[in-house]
Amino acid sequence: MSKAFAPHFSQGLLLFTLSSAALYLVAKTKDVRRRKGDSSIPPSSPKSIDNSPPSVSSLKGTVKAIDMHVIVCGMGAASTWPKRLEDDKQSVLSRLSQLLEDFNGGGKRIKVTGCDLPNTLQGFTDIIVYPDARVYRVDDESMVSLAVLLSDSSSAKSKVLSPTPWPKSVFKDEPVPFEHLVLVCAHANRDKRCGRAGPAIIEAITAEVSKSGKSIKVAASSHIGGHEFAGTCAIYPQGDWYGHLTVKGSALSEVISSLLHGGGIIERCHRGCSFDW
């Protein structure tokens, strides 16, 4: 190499190295933000939402087992929900979540989410609970007792110092009045991916359910976890969770068919089960 050419070669190599490092850092930062659920960062590939779902191995085990799923109804349209429903400290969901956290001396794994199903009685909030498959209708006076009942621990009962009625006879409760509940994450202000995928999935499932005449409720759900697997849904009472659903793909059709005709788990889009059974 000539002495005249050497400086230019060295400068070019340095610029190439610096440019490559900068591109790597940008890509790495986006990847970290995406894994943390940053809704401003789109999925790395359109295939993660709009085309065929990935291999079973990438979805299996992406659901953390829980002991109880508490679903608060009457939350209104999903499009109006703030990023975190828990931040509205006056809401039923926020207050019940805090009470369950305070009273859960037994260490139950309790998930609390909201949905857009309407309440059935004026002045009462419908609280659907699985795996119990019951709906509790509570007001301000009975919310503490419900939290104690659901936490089901002696330490919780000892914390109730007010003359709140006990036990559950204070609630207006009954078995859920439907065979299945399908919760589809549509929490757009939490993550844009679910905001895009959720409403279309709800529309598709609702249309097929309506034609079947089956006793199945389909509801928009707040954040249930796993936005990177949008569109996502959970089906109760089985507790099966599915991901990478889209109206353009065949996986959703298979899930709907299984739901309506009593089929088994659709393995290729099955994320796992809520409960240890």
pLDDT recorded at residue 185: 97
> Whose CA is closest to 136, among 144, 122, 123, 146?
146
What are 242's two structure tokens? 């599915």
CATH number of 180-273: 3.40.30.10
Residue 181 burial by Cβ neighbours in a 10 Å radius (0-12, 13-18, 19+)? buried
**pLDDT tier for residue 25 given thresholds of 50, 70 and 90:** very low
Mean pLDDT of the chain: 80
Strand partners, 129: 70, 134
The CATH 3.40.30.10 domain(s) of the chain lie at 180-273
pLDDT grade for 153, boundaries at 50, 70 and 90: low
β strands within the chain, DSSP E: 68-72, 110-114, 125-130, 134-138, 172-175, 180-185, 216-221, 233-236, 240-242, 270-273
Cα–chain center distance at 119: 20
The answer to whether 172 and 139 have CB atoms below 8 angstroms apart is no
At residue 11 the predicted structure's pLDDT band, cuts being 50, 70 and 90, is: low
Q: What are the pLDDT digits (tens) for 29-41?
A: 444 444 444 443 3
Which pLDDT does position 103 carry in this prediction? 87
| Its pTM surpasses 0.85 | no
Domain 65-175, classified CATH 3.40.30, yes or no: yes
